[in-house]
Structure formats: C-alpha cells, structure tokens
Structure 1
C-alpha cells in the first residue's frame, strides 16, 4: 500500500506563501478580489463554472490529469516530462502553463532546484465535483443486499473517549500505550483485524486496528499528546470532543467520515478523489465512477491507475461497509455502494427541537432515545457509566461516576441536564443524587467559557432565550456570561443566526508534546508568473513567420519546420493539392530513395503526403 507523505495544501495556505508581485499578476489576469477573499472566490461554484467555460482544450486535459491521475500528490518535473512525451509537449505544457496562470496549479521548488507542481486539495475537491457528472443508471434490476448491522465507527470512538475522559492515559518510556490499556482498547474495538489490516498496515508498536483507531482519535483532536511530570500522556480534549459529537447522528457521521477521508486518503494520493466520488448520491455505481474517469483520462492521453482502483474496490469499500458507513453489493458484475442513513454532508448543527430525549429510570438508568443529540450523550457520560449502545443508549448513574462528573463539571450541570432529558425527575433519584453530592464540599475547577456580548441588548436577549438555558451557566454582569463548555456550539450558532459575529481568542494552557510539521521539507511555493517559453524553451528559437503566416516554404525549411512540429506535438494548418486540413499532426517523416514522405494524423485518420506536394502550412500555437 502506497502511503503519500505530501503535506496538505489548501488555497489559503498557498496564497499566503506567494509574494505580492505574483499575487498582483494573478489577480489582474483573472479578476480576483482582495487577497483575504480570494480563497473563497476560487472555491465558489460560479467561479469554477466560468473558469471551465473559458479554458482551452489543453487546459481541460491537463486539469483532468491532475485531478484523476495525480490526485493528492505532487506532479514531479520528470513525471511531467514523461506525460508530455507520451502525449504532446506543446499540448501538455501549454495546458499546465494555462492552469498556473489561472491560479489553479502552483510550483514547488526545493532549495537545490527540483521542481514539482501541486493543485491545492480543497480546490481539487470542488473541481472534481464539477467535472464528475456521474448519473446513476436507471432500469438496472439490482436489489440492495440486507446485511447484519455493524457497530458504527462514531459510536466506537465515543465509547473509547468516554472510557478515558476523566483520567489521562500514561504511556510507556517508548511513548506507546501499555499492554493493560491496549487490552482494554482491543475490547472496545469490535472490528476484525483483517478488515482494517488489508488497508491500514500495522506497525511495530500496534496492531492495524489499534493504530487505525488511534490515528483517527489523534486526527480529530479527541486525543492529544502532552508532557506530564511522570512522562508523556494522551489526554481527552473535551472541547474537540464536543465539536466532534455536536448534533445528531448524521452530523457526527459526516465529521467522522471526513476524518476517514483524511486518514485513508493519506494511504494513496488517488483515494481522496475516489472517496469524494462515493458522496455523489445515496447509492453509487462504482463501476460507472471508474468508467467516467477512464473516459476523461483517455481524452487526456492516459489511463486510470488500475492498481489503485483494485485496492479501492477490493479493500477500501469493504472497510467502509465494515465500519458502518454503508454496504456493498454487486449486480451484473457491477459493484454498488449504498450509504447507511444517507450520504455524508457538511451541514451545520440544526436548531434544537423541543422533544423528549429519553427517560430517567428509578433505577438511576438514563435511557437516551435515537433522537437524542450526541452532545447530550457526551454530557450525560460525564456523570454516568456507558452501559449499552443499542438503538437506545443506556447510561447508569453511580456514586463514583457522579463524583467524577462533579470533579470535572460541577454539580449544577447534572440537574439541568436530567431535567432537559425528561422534565420531572423521580423523587427517589433526586434523593439519592443529593446524598452522593452532599457532604464535605470541595473546591471545584470547572470547564467554562467566558462570553462578552457586544452590548446590553444582546446580553438581555441571551439571558432570556429559553433554548439556551442548558448552555448558559451564569450572567456575571451587564455583558459578560459564563458558558458551559459543552454548550458553546449552541450559543455560537444562535448568535450567528442573529447576525452577531463571533470571535474566539486565547490559547490552550498546555502545549502539545509533539507539534505537527507545517512546511513540506525542502519545498517552497515559487512566486514566478509562468510563461510557456519557460517550459518549452525551444519555442524561443522558432521563427515568427511559422505561426504568423500561412505560406509555402523551401523544401529544406519545410522539412525542418515539420520535424520540429513533430518533436513538440504542434498542430498544423495544412494544404496539399486542393485540400486543406486543420489540426493536422506530423507523426513520421521518412526518406525513401531520396524522396521525403510525411505521415499526418488528422481527426483520427492517417495519410501520407510527399513533401513536394505540401503547400501552404502554418503552426497553430496557443499564443499565435
């Protein structure tokens, strides 16, 4: 399995690195807005559509090659030379130059001169969505195969972070999980080793499923590595977990799906684009997805990566089905993938609806219905043990779990939370909870956020907003509030809904033990406005009349002209006898007993013309 090491490049990150001179040139050439708005402009659907309409055929072919053959990888200088050799140097380099001048592709250069080309990852996503116009075939007599439900990955991640939410995970001197923790982790991961191991290879420290789940938790920020007095520890990041598990099942599934795209996409540069293709519809004909890319790449002069597609269909799709995202089935030798509960979407958390979320039993079991948002489940888990994760989730309030919750969250949250779930709480439950929470009071550090409203009117509205009672902890003065950490998403969404801008400030108190690298080693985005002659220096020595005039030439000059047109892949406007052709290409020049004969390719046909019968001719260059 290939594992790409290319850094993640976004439009905003690349634009930050180019100098003002290049930005001004690109902005003037393409009508870009101010620098801080250009990323949003380039990612907009209208910009993509207008740019596609304005592109030359060479630019479109090069774009397809970048999107579906290079993907989340770098196009090296040598790869570009090979592609140009296999297709047409002029077409390939004019297409690349056009994309660079449009601000879609950028140049990376190492200090010692090595060159590579990249297209920002987020820009790739919007362009693939525009080009990939797969329509699900109709009339195909296939039926979905029902399968046994499997534990959903997002529920498994919830159970893991819930298990370690109150205490950090101490690591060994080697910086890995101790065997006691690993055995407990293995018990919480219900997936077979072979399912994950076929895609995500194990390393020397962990099995494939341990490493895969740990990678997801670190990628989402639910776990983070810190330095403690006793050594390195993994600690659950409550704020990041609250973001991950905000909203209902569909929202959580979409966030975990994005983490899967990032982690699995890192294993092969073409996987991110293939995974994007699955989200086109609730049910996808994967063969049609492949056929569409095959047709696009054929027009660009190449073929799909067969090995990558085989790995995706044979290993990645079963993994997605095994993790609960959907299921695969075949019909007439075609592979289909169907989403479980609908395809992921990047939707915001909807406004809270007042409905019953669950029940508080006299046995002190808290039953949460499927409609209960995941942030409520996370808040309940602060005070209760997670007992079951079937359709109805069961939490159990115990003396130890309640005291753990009080230590980390305070006693006031529990009452508000249980009232929100059911309303009136059984008196026996309240009595027992009061006993557990009573006694000698301890000094409590609580996790809250400080909110300063812009004026008193906004503060009065916030205090009186009934839907935010669970999130607002206390009003301190005229404009200042304390907000429950788990409820900050709801408050922020409500403020933004009323057109009140929200700004966040402050840094984490703790610093991570290991900081992620932010720059590709040795590479730097180059700030040079491209010209076609820089990629094809041979064009500088071409006589202007070859592409300005349509005329006849002396035999030696004509032979030289046609020979260079063959080497560079230049199309010609050609006259022979009384016939005239456009887009003729020289494929062969041979000498037969002192007589030169030229083979031309025109619209898929081939013809041989003696050199002396060639009449007027002209090169067709992109800038002529």
Structure 2
C-alpha cells in the first residue's frame, strides 16, 4: 500500500474509534494529529517522497542494513513473524529484525495490520520500497544507449494504453449502458463491440496471470479495464448491469492523466503481479531504473538487482522482466527497442509529478477544422475529451484523438440536454484556433430542424374544490410557490417533479397538507410519497458517500473489482495500538550479563547452554576461533555429547554468506549478541 492510502485508512479507522468512544463503549482512541508517529510520517512521505531516504539515513547503520535485508526478502508484500526466521543469515538474526519492527513502524517505514484471530501482518509501504529500490539502482553503474552507440533496428512505439482503454470503457458505459446476463457476465455482442475499441493486447498481458469469473467470455484486456474502473470507484456492478458512479467519475476527470497513471500503476503492482518478492522486484525496478526520455538496457537492470542481492542469478528472471516490459508497453508506459545484439532497451514515458501542471496546461484544448473534424492532442485533459464525446462522434485515437461534428451528434447532444448555445460555448472555450463560421452556420440550420419543441415530465397537482385551488393560486402569485407551480385548470396545477417534496413542505405551512398517497384520475393508488422520499434519501446518501470518495483518491486499494487479487490487506484492520511487545522482551532481560558483555571461555556445558539459548531466542553469536572474532547466526545443533556436537550456522566467509558446520569445542570464546536497540 502507498503511504497516502495508509494515512487515509488510519484516519478513517481512528474516526470510527472516536465514534465508538463517544457512544460510551470501552473503545480507546489514538489521536492521530496529536502524536501518532506512523500516520504523521506517512503523510510526510506522501507529500515529500525525498523524506523517505532521509528518514532511513537517520537510523543507525545496522538498522539501515537490516531494513534493506527485509526489503530484499519481503518487498512490498505483507509478512508475518514466522517468516522472519527463514530470512536469517550471518548479518541478520531474526531477533534483530523482530526488535527493529517497532522502530521502523514509528518511523513510518512499516505498517501493521491485524487478522481477526490476532495475528499481525507487517507490510512496507510501496512508495517507501520503491524509493529504496530506486536508490539501489541509481547507485549502480548504468548503460547509456548514446554512449554505447547502439544501432537500434527494431522500434516499437507505445499505444495509447490502459488510460485510453479505461476512458473508452467509461464512455461506452455512460452512453449505452453495460447490462449483464442472468449469470452475471456481459452479453456477447457487448463484449465484441467493447473489445474492438480497446488497444491493449491480450498476448502482452499474459505475464499478469490474472484470474476472474467468466474468463472464457471476457478477454484479459477487457477484464483489466473493468476491474480498474471498479477499483477506482468509477463503475459499480449490481445484479443487472455495471453503472457509472458519476460523482467519482467527474472528480477523476478533473485530474491530469499523470494522476490516472499513478493510480493505475499502483493497482497493477498490487493486484496484477504474482505475489512473490522476486516478481515485485522486477516489476517495480523497471520504473525505478527508468529515466524519462532516456533509453535503459533491461538486461543491466536485472544484473544490478542480482549483483546487489535482490535477485538470484537465474535466467528466468530476465525472461520475466522482458515479459513485463511488453505488458508495460501495452499499458502505454514505455517504448521498446531491440538492439542488433538482441538486447532489449526501454524508455520510460510516465512523467514525474513535477511535470503534471505544465503538461496539463499545454494540452488544454483542441482544434476545430472547417471539414467538421476536431483534433485533440494526446495530452488533452480527460474532462475536455469527456465533453467532446457528448457533442461529437469519436472516429479514432491513433496518436491524436479525432472527432467529427455531425447532424446526428448535434441531435444526440440536444436529446441529452445540451442546447445549441451550450455546445457552441464549450467549443469556443477550448477551440485553440476558434470555430470556423461554416460550422456555426450548420448548427443554426440543424437547430431550426430539431429541438425547438419537446416533452417534459411533470406532476399534476389536483384540488378537491376551487377554494383549495384559490389558496394555491394566491401563493403562486405572491407567496412561496411563485414560479414553481403553473395553473392549467380550475382545480389543477403542473409541478416540476424535482420540486415535489419542497412544495409538499410549503403546502403544510399554508394549512393545505397534501395526501400522503398519490392518486391517478381514477382515485387508484399508484405510489406513496414515502417510497419516493426513500429514493431521494438513498440518492442523497449515495451522493454524500461519493463526495467523500471523490475527495479521497488514496482509498483505491480498498475497492473490489472482478479480478481475483493476490492482495488481502484490504480485508484487515490496521493495528493502531501496535507497540513493542514487552512480554517478548522478558526472555532477554533475564539473560546473565556475562553472556552478553564480552567474548570469554566457558565450561563445555555452559557453552552449549549459551548456543541453545541463541537458537531459542534467534540471536546471533560472536565467537573467537583461531584468534579471529566471527559473527555467526546459529541454526541447529546436532550430536549428543557435550564435547562432541556440531553447530550449523550462517556465517560471513570471505564476503560470502554461507551455511557452515562449526565445532564449539574449538572456540576460544563466545558471547550472545543482543540487539542494542532492544
């Protein structure tokens, strides 16, 4: 999870705790703004990513090394305490990592969740992880295509990618609806029409290894588009259809494309990558090593990860990275080229956040041609393109986004409630070179032919007698019903449906309360005001929830989609009360001081007891052998006699981390290495 998501979830969960406390239960609240260090640091990291490395560098060197060791094994995946023992080596005893967890948590370098039965899950925020990975790759030597004079012979330009496919899905859903069958899948004809508009390729998405219901009917590229729309809160599925969530959609449409790419990139990393650390390293390293506008050799990225100990030296790692490059190319995030030596080079295309405002300003508009074509540049903001979709026909999106103004599109816009003036005002606002006169003339002709008369849905307000009608008439002329009610007969009035509840309240105030139930001309009940009021209340509640969601883009990881996600963190609550476990420390407090103070010799039985204690408490040992001080992390003892047993241990031998059998009987001294930060 991203630090912004963690901060948002912590704030939401704390608010719930406060509500419980106010209700008089025994809930205890942490005051986030009053000193909850992880929350404060997550907010800082989200606003200023450069603070991540500063925070890590402020830790003692030993804790910095341990943290990198943790990242190599866990990546941004959740882990539990039992997994830590399997990550031990000579420079990292499990007890040292366990003792460091609360320190990293307080610093905002770790988040803690709790399962229903109390087991804790730990996770490194993804942006913190990426920042460290980027530092590792930046510090390694890089290869420049320009310096090496590489002769590229195969060039693969990126498509419009995932954001364009997502946009086309939303337009289709808004304009035509997205109904589902009784089984819950999409209609075959709808699938065919939708997939013809999507530009991602199913072959390139194979590395995602996604699973979802009705996979035989829906292709991976369509499944991913629908899943992303759901996880971003843009569409929702019910028993009959997928429907647009307009408040969230309009809020997202105001965001620059860079924000969309950032959100989708996080979702791809969380939900479409295999849940193992090696795959995560490969996926995130492509962006961490990528430099906008520069070509990077993919083989060198894998080599750097292997040399720095983040990956094993396996040929399959390179094949996986190449597969992900083709997927990211399909997403529209990089260009690919193959050199004459068959090496794969890529150029990262997603701009940094510093470039967002400049890029958005440059693309705020389009060009209207005299032949009724509209040309929108690739970086045209989505909220402008969305409005273009309402008044013009989309013809293509190959590089430029092409639209055409037609009589049919004009009439469709009129039917949707956009007047000729509104359409013209919109084009005048965003047409970078103005609107040709022949188009304005065509609009005038089309307007004369269509849209000058229409049906309007209203409600009929009837009175039992003329005295009641007179009361309403007086209120229409000089009171609170002025302009809201129109008389069409001696005892009948026309009311805008949207004004019904407001008028009902006024009628109460003037002493003429309306019947609770609605009636038709045959005095048959056709519906109750209660049910309509419930609908209004439901819509109002939904709009309020949508407003909250639209203002809080950080909550995307808690949304569910149609793709089965390998991530389960959205189902668990954060452990807001996590602190260092004092009961866990009691075992260390009782250790004899001489065992931890200095390296010294002991009787064979005591020596064995010290080794067994180190194994039990997962501590490292410092031993003296052949006059040299060595650090070892014991694994197990074998052999029964006190003077004739061996120890299997992790040891750093000639800068290589190895497992080796040692003979304690040959040691000249030993001591327990208790972490200094305990």
Shift of residue 385 of structure 1? Answer: 0.6
Q: Which residue of 1 aligns with 2:329?
A: 321
Q: 1:528 to 1:239 in 2, by over 3 A?
A: closer
**Which one is further off, 38-47 or 174-183?**
38-47
Q: Which has the higher helix share?
A: 2
Query: What SS is found at the alignment partner of 2:368?
Result: strand
1:440 counterpart = 2:436: no
1:216 counterpart = 2:228: yes
Query: What SS is found at the alignment partner of 2:174?
Result: coil
Q: Which residue of 2 aligns with 1:558?
A: 607
Alignment of 1:372-521 (within 5 A): 372-408=380-416, 410-411=418-419, 412-420=421-429, 421=431, 424-438=434-448, 439-442=451-454, 508-509=542-543, 516=559, 520-521=570-571
Q: Which residue of 2 aligns with 1:525?
A: 575
Q: 1:290 to 1:16 in 2, by over 3 A?
A: farther
Q: Which residue of 2 aligns with 1:285?
A: 297
Deviations 1:566-595 (A, max 9, x none): 665644555679x46364666898889985
Alignment of 1:88-487 (within 5 A): 88-133=93-138, 134-138=140-144, 139-147=147-155, 149=157, 151-153=159-161, 154-199=163-208, 200-201=210-211, 203-204=213-214, 205-225=217-237, 232-237=240-245, 240-241=248-249, 251-252=256-257, 255-256=260-261, 258-263=263-268, 265-267=270-272, 268-269=274-275, 270=277, 274-280=282-288, 281-282=291-292, 283-297=295-309, 303-304=311-312, 309=317, 312-330=320-338, 334-339=343-348, 341=349, 343=351, 345=353, 347-350=355-358, 352=361, 357-361=366-370, 363-369=371-377, 372-408=380-416, 410-411=418-419, 412-420=421-429, 421=431, 424-438=434-448, 439-442=451-454
> Which of 528, 535, 539 matches 2:588?
539
Deviations 1:436-471 (A, max 9, x none): 3345245899xxxxxxxxxxxxxxxxxxxxxxxxxx
Give the conservation status (yes or no) of the 8 Å contact 1:68–1:304. no
Deviations 1:312-345 (A, max 9, x none): 4243221222343323345556543223x56564
Alpha-carbon distance in 2 for matches of 1:408, 1:429: 20
Give the conservation status (yes or no) of the 8 Å contact 1:382–1:405. yes
Structure 2, unaligned stretches of length 5 or more?
19-26, 458-539, 547-557, 561-567, 655-659
Shift of residue 386 of structure 1? Answer: 0.9
> Which of 610, 621, 624 matches 2:674?
621
Alpha-carbon distance in 2 for matches of 1:308, 1:80: 26
**Which one is further off, 599-608 or 237-246?**
599-608
Alpha-carbon distance in 2 for matches of 1:140, 1:110: 52
Aligned pair count? 539
1:82 counterpart = 2:92: no
Give the conservation status (yes or no) of the 8 Å contact 2:621–2:673. yes
Query: What SS is found at the alignment partner of 2:578?
Result: coil
Alpha-carbon distance in 2 for matches of 1:23, 1:58: 34
Alpha-carbon distance in 2 for matches of 1:211, 1:423: 39
Query: What SS is found at the alignment partner of 1:206?
Result: coil
- TM-score, scaled relative to structure 1: 0.70
Give the conservation status (yes or no) of the 8 Å contact 1:387–1:394. yes
Give the conservation status (yes or no) of the 8 Å contact 1:157–1:217. yes
Query: What SS is found at the alignment partner of 1:174?
Result: coil
Shift of residue 612 of structure 1? Answer: 7.9
Alpha-carbon distance in 2 for matches of 1:40, 1:10: 9
Give the conservation status (yes or no) of the 8 Å contact 2:296–2:346. yes
Deviations 1:193-251 (A, max 9, x none): 333345345642422232122223333444333x6xxx63333455555555558xxx5
Alpha-carbon distance in 2 for matches of 1:273, 1:613: 40
Alpha-carbon distance in 2 for matches of 1:588, 1:239: 60
1:581 counterpart = 2:634: no
Deviations 1:533-579 (A, max 9, x none): 62x765354223322356554443234224434665644555679x4
Shift of residue 383 of structure 1? Answer: 0.5
Shift of residue 184 of structure 1? Answer: 0.8
Q: Which residue of 2 aligns with 1:458?
A: none
Q: Which residue of 1 aligns with 2:505?
A: none
Alpha-carbon distance in 2 for matches of 1:122, 1:144: 33
Give the conservation status (yes or no) of the 8 Å contact 1:384–1:398. yes
Deviations 1:349-396 (A, max 9, x none): 3374699831331x4333345575444333222101112323444322
Q: Which has the larger radius of gyration?
A: 2
Q: 1:6 to 1:177 in 2, by over 3 A?
A: farther
Deviations 1:100-142 (A, max 9, x none): 4544334433333433322334443444444543552244443
Q: Which residue of 1 aligns with 2:42?
A: 39
Q: Which residue of 2 aligns with 1:484?
A: none
Give the conservation status (yes or no) of the 8 Å contact 1:584–1:602. yes
Q: 1:590 to 1:358 in 2, by over 3 A?
A: closer
> Which of 67, 73, 76 matches 1:69?
73
Query: What SS is found at the alignment partner of 2:122?
Result: strand
Query: What SS is found at the alignment partner of 1:320?
Result: helix
Query: What SS is found at the alignment partner of 1:75?
Result: coil
Q: 1:61 to 1:342 in 2, by over 3 A?
A: same
Alpha-carbon distance in 1 for matches of 2:155, 2:58: 48
Alpha-carbon distance in 2 for matches of 1:163, 1:17: 36
**CA RMSD in angstroms, aligned pairs only:** 4.7
Q: Which residue of 1 aligns with 2:57?
A: 53
**Which one is further off, 583-592 or 122-131?**
583-592
- TM-score, scaled relative to structure 2: 0.65
Structure 1, unaligned stretches of length 5 or more?
446-505
Alpha-carbon distance in 1 for matches of 2:613, 2:226: 57
Q: 1:23 to 1:122 in 2, by over 3 A?
A: farther
Shift of residue 82 of structure 1? Answer: 2.6
